[in-house]
Amino acid sequence: MPRSISLIISFYNKIELLKLVLAALEIQTFREFEVIIADDGSKTEVAAEINRIKSTYFFQIKHVWQEDNGWQKNKILNKAVVASEGEYLIFIDGDCIPHRRFIQEHIESRAENQIVSGRRIMLTENISKTLTIKKIKEGYLEFAIGFPLFFETVFGGEKTYMENILRIRNPFLRKMFLKDRRRYLLGCNYSLWKADLMKVNGFDERFLFPGTGEDTDLEGRLSRIEVYPISKKHLVTLFHYYHVPFDTNHEPNKRLYEENNRNRITFTPFGIQKQQFKS
């Protein structure tokens, strides 16, 4: 049966971490969704493991894989979008573990001409190492992480954005004390109507490095057709598993991003439609 919601996970090789993400999806309060694993060239044995376990979850999993030819996240995301059945798309990275209300809150927050931009809580290396499937299913991230995260933030000097752990769901309180503001698109946690993404032809596949342009180019092109990212503070949160920071300062990306902005590009000729012509 077709699903109206497709959750797309960017993924590369880290299968044990993916299992933590899938465990968090098993306890979602909203349960009518499909999962698309957008796999940018994982090893053969990893792909085989995904195909082995994907039938063990209550939700449908589609594994969309491409050959490893360097960083081509935008290309595999376009393929995942084509494979998706949902009319509404949620995007996360494979090292991001969603709160149990994550999908429900994305759906409740959606609106016309809008991208829902969620927030993240950065887990420290110590906390990340303690995570297990059992702890996630028992609600550790939602109900027990506060003190250890506070301790490592205050006394360990870690940058965790732990203020996002405070969740405000009550509509009256949100209206009184919070204003949903236009803000940048957070590439590891956002959602939008598939029809809006198709209006700009998906992701520009010429971005071949992480960082500048990876998500900001999409934000810019959507904004030029008046589809804007709206930040949902203290709502729609996920937990970002620790990894060593990597270089995101790549000149080719910067030049391409500036070129698209200068030319006021909306519909990229290097996106989904090009792929369809190829097939």
Judged against a pLDDT cut of 90, whether residue 279 lies above it is answered with no
Query: What number is the average pLDDT over the span 198-222?
Result: 95
- Average pLDDT on 6-29 reads 98
Q: Is residue 218 pLDDT above 80, yes or no?
A: yes
Mean pLDDT along residues 209-237: 95
Instruction: Please give the pLDDT value at position 1.
Output: 37
Q: Which pLDDT score, from 0 to 100, does residue 69 have? A: 96
So what's the pLDDT on residue 2?
A: 45
pLDDT for 146 equals 92
Tell me what pLDDT residue 3 has.
63
For residue 211, pLDDT beyond 50? yes
Mean model confidence pLDDT for the chain = 94
Report the distance separating Cα 163 and Cα 62, nearest Å: 34
Say what the pLDDT of residue 278 is: 44
Place of tokens 């993400």: 21
Q: Which residue has the higher pLDDT, 246 or 207?
A: 207
Decide yes or no: CATH 2.60.260.20 for domain 5-278: no
Asked whether the predicted pLDDT for residue 252 surpasses 60, the reply is yes
**Which residue ranges make up each domain of the chain?**
5-278
> Residue 19: is it exposed, middle or buried by C-beta count within 10 angstroms (0-12/13-18/19+)?
middle
Helix (H), strand (E), coil (C) string for 249-264? CCHHHHHHHHHHHHCC
pTM above 0.75, yes or no: yes
- The predicted model gives 88-110 an average pLDDT of 97
Write out pLDDT tens, residues 27-76.
999 999 999 999 999 999 999 999 999 999 999 999 999 999 999 999 99
pLDDT of residue 133: 98
Say how far apart CA 193 and CA 28 lie, in whole Å. Answer: 20
- The per-residue pLDDT for 245 is 85
Supply the pLDDT for residue 275.
53
What is the model's pLDDT at position 181?
86
User: Can you give the pLDDT at residue 183?
Assistant: 85
pLDDT tens for each residue of 130-156 = 999 999 999 999 999 999 999 999 988
